[in-house]
Amino acid sequence: MGAKQSSQDDAGRENLDALKEEIERLRKALSEEEEERKKTTREEDKKTSKTTSAPIQVDDRELEKRLLLQTQSDGEVDSASFASQHEVDPKRIVGIIKSLAASNVVVFSETDKNTLNLTEEAMSFIENGSPEARAFDFVKSKGKNGVSLPEFKKLEKTISEVGFKQAMQQKWLAMDKATNSVVAKVEEITDTCRTYLRMIKEGKKEEVPAKELDALIKKRKLAKVETWKEYAVKRGPEFALERKKLEHDLTKEMLANGAWKTATFKEYTLVPGAGNIPASGHVHPLLKVRRAFREIFLQLGFSEMPTNNFVESGFWNFDTLIQPQQHPARDAHDTFFMKTPAKANFAPEEYVEKVKKMHEVGGHGSVGHNYAWKREEADKNILRTHTTAVSARMLHKLAEDGFKPCKLFSIDRVFRNEAVDRTHLAEFHQVEGVVCDKGLTLGDLIGVIRQFFAQLGMTQVRFKPAFNPYTEPSMEIFAFHPMLGKWVEVGNSGMFRPEMLLPMGLPEDVSVIAWGLSLERPTMIMFGIDNIRDLFGSKMQLQSVKNNQLCPLGLEK
């Protein structure tokens, strides 16, 4: 058997060698052909395109121009043939078409396309026969006894594995267990795999039986489906050979020089539903909390102070509160100054004189601040830094009108030149309470504050000595926050100094207790907002206004 076997081997090897040579020859021929093709297209490119020398491609603007020209002359342009005509990636053409369509220069309709691409392997099957056919041919050439398995395994893998498996399935080959060899089971075969692949290559895939086609694509992965869209382009309502430059914004210059009359503006891309009238309005969380605070003050018998002046003079904001003019809070780092009108101070001159005297030399037992008070500082217009400016105006009016005990409150906006961060903005709201009566003491202040905060649901309140230029004694207010599980600062308070009250003309035995807090802080805590920019300003989401809960203040108990 040995001699016979080896001669068969030799024949097989010769066969294989011949195959390999053939493959090599084909490969060479193919690559030469490819080279030749590239050369000629380069030369053609040189002839047809003046703008570029191949292989560098034409730019999008040039392509756009050519597309528009062709649309004008042909009436309809097909994206795929246009792309191949200009030897550019069809995706670029699609991009240009869509952008032209967005400006209504063209309109297009799209069609889904697909093709079946053969793999390199499939191409080699077409060339050399399918591996199963080659496996069969080989075994068949060895005669009746076939080929021993170890010998067969020595063939190239495509034949010995893929080909063997397929040929076994087709029942072309079989294993002879007794001799452990691969033997041919049939006399003749037709290489259907190769035939079908050829049909696909020739564009006759419809003629391949569906089941076989499916197996070639899915099981054997010899062909791949490629899908894409093709666009048929026609002239649009704004058709022109050159696209008009679209303006994005209406500028001051365009208004001044009249360019707006002829400019073409880009259309807005609005989200669906933009401009719809909302189903209903919604109350902003700050307003919900403000309303609750108001209600509490009103229930406690307080009346609201008129806070309708954001612009205030330094006089009412600081000087009446006997806050010295060189106090750091009064410089531009903390306070916003008005440019025009930079000055205004509507205060009775004799009162201004009294305030000046208190600053410079004191009186009523006080030594004052002992410096040269300047009228111009007092007259400067600023954005009020606290609502205590309004309280000062009201107390002065109370003295002028003739003292009566009173309880006042305000809730309104104040401004400070602060670095903006997640808990600070340059403007916020203050809540302020003022009680004015004869013989009030620190005990009254503590009692009123306890009552006030109890209404808010904060029953555990603590006080800490503090300093304010215009109150003595002064206390910071802390409340225990059950949700946060800690003591948080909720406000500031004190008894207005006699240096502030006496120049106003209030009787000597009148004391004024007062406290203030921000509206934002409790609102953020109550609504679980941890960045103030989510509560106030341009970044606030309307949706969050719509969705937020009722203000819990005043609803408990």
Using Cβ positions, the residue closest to ligand PHE within the complex turns out to be 516
Number of residues that bind ligand PHE (CB under 6 A): 11
- Contact window for ligand PHE (CB under 6 A) among 85-93, 222-230, 437-445, 488-496: 488-496
d(CA 293, CA 409): 10
User: Per rule CB under 6 A, is residue 523 in the interface with ligand PHE?
Assistant: no
d(CA 314, CA 498): 20
d(CA 68, CA 333): 60
User: Per rule CB under 6 A, is residue 498 in the interface with ligand PHE?
Assistant: no
CB 463 within 8 A of CB 450: no
Pick from 325, 388, 523, 548 the residue near ligand PHE by CB under 6 A.
388
Q: Which is nearer to ligand PHE, 126 or 322 (CB)?
A: 322
d(CA 38, CA 243): 34
User: Per rule CB under 6 A, is residue 369 in the interface with ligand PHE?
Assistant: no
Contact letters for ligand PHE, residues 2-41 (x by CB under 6 A): ----------------------------------------
User: Per rule CB under 6 A, is residue 514 in the interface with ligand PHE?
Assistant: yes
Closest by CA to 380, choosing from 324, 326, 330, 321, is 330
Tokens of 265: 């503006």
- Contact window for ligand PHE (CB under 6 A) among 63-71, 238-246, 292-300, 492-500: 492-500
**Residue 273: what residue type?**
G
User: Per rule CB under 6 A, is residue 163 in the interface with ligand PHE?
Assistant: no
Q: Which is nearer to ligand PHE, 471 or 523 (CB)?
A: 471
In eight-state DSSP terms, residue 336 is: P
User: Per rule CB under 6 A, is residue 522 in the interface with ligand PHE?
Assistant: no
Phi-psi group of 203: left, alpha or beta (phi > 0 → left; psi -120 to 50 → alpha; rest → beta): left
User: Per rule CB under 6 A, is residue 471 in the interface with ligand PHE?
Assistant: yes
- For residue 389, the minimal CB distance to ligand PHE (Å) is 9
Distance of CA 269 to the CA centre of its chain: 16
Q: What are phi and psi of 193, to 5 degrees?
A: -55, -50
d(CA 425, CA 418): 7
Q: Which is nearer to ligand PHE, 285 or 494 (CB)?
A: 494
- Contact window for ligand PHE (CB under 6 A) among 87-95, 116-124, 455-463, 513-521: 513-521
Range 291-330, binding ligand PHE (CB under 6 A) = none
| Cβ neighbours of 448 (radius 10 Å) | 19
Q: Which is nearer to ligand PHE, 82 or 470 (CB)?
A: 470
Q: Identify the three-state secondary structure at position 448.
A: helix
Q: Which is nearer to ligand PHE, 162 or 514 (CB)?
A: 514
What H or E segment, with its residue span, contains residue 413? strand 406-415
CB 306 within 8 A of CB 484: no
User: Per rule CB under 6 A, is residue 493 in the interface with ligand PHE?
Assistant: yes
CB 223 within 8 A of CB 123: no
- Residue 363 pairs with which residues in a beta bridge? 366
Could you tell me the end-to-end alpha-carbon distance of the chain, in angstroms, rounded to an integer? 108
Pick from 108, 164, 373, 515 the residue near ligand PHE by CB under 6 A.
515
Torsion of CA 361, 363, 366, 370, to 10 degrees: -10
User: Per rule CB under 6 A, is residue 412 in the interface with ligand PHE?
Assistant: no
User: Per rule CB under 6 A, is residue 516 in the interface with ligand PHE?
Assistant: yes
In eight-state DSSP terms, residue 186 is: S
- Contact window for ligand PHE (CB under 6 A) among 140-148, 301-309, 448-456, 486-494: 486-494
Pick from 313, 468, 511, 548 the residue near ligand PHE by CB under 6 A.
468
- For residue 243, the minimal CB distance to ligand PHE (Å) is 59
User: Per rule CB under 6 A, is residue 410 in the interface with ligand PHE?
Assistant: no
User: Per rule CB under 6 A, is residue 172 in the interface with ligand PHE?
Assistant: no
Q: Identify the three-state secondary structure at position 520.
A: helix
Pick from 324, 494, 503, 522 the residue near ligand PHE by CB under 6 A.
494
**Residue 177: what residue type?**
K
Binding interface with ligand PHE (CB under 6 A): 386, 388, 432, 468, 471, 492-494, 514-516
